[in-house]
Amino acid sequence: MSELVQFEYELPSGDLILVNALVSPGRPALPASLNFPGEPGEGPEIEDLYCFLKDQSGINPPFDPTGLWYWAGERFKKVIADLEDYAEEQYRDQQ
């Protein structure tokens, strides 16, 4: 069963976006037995990300962060990857 995670994220440009993420809980590890070698657990999975620009007038238009990158120290990082990492972190904090 998916769970909704909501948070605000500041883009590298300084604009705020509202993010609604549907996160599924993943799968627990399956222990080994005499007839089964076992399997590691899987972490939470982001199913959908819905982003909206946070507007001062209260109208929040949809926003697609796909294709946005920013400089993170010694390399570029995708904004969408950062959003997914933050959504997983928020999901774990809610548990």
With 0.95 as the threshold, say if the pTM is over it. no
Domain count, the chain: 1
Q: What is the domain range of residue 56?
A: 3-94
Question: Contact 6/19 with Cβ under 8 angstroms?
Answer: yes
Half-sphere exposure of 40 (CA within 13 A, CB side): 2
Could you report the per-residue pLDDT of 34-71, keeping only the tens digit for each? 999 999 988 888 888 999 998 877 778 999 998 899 98
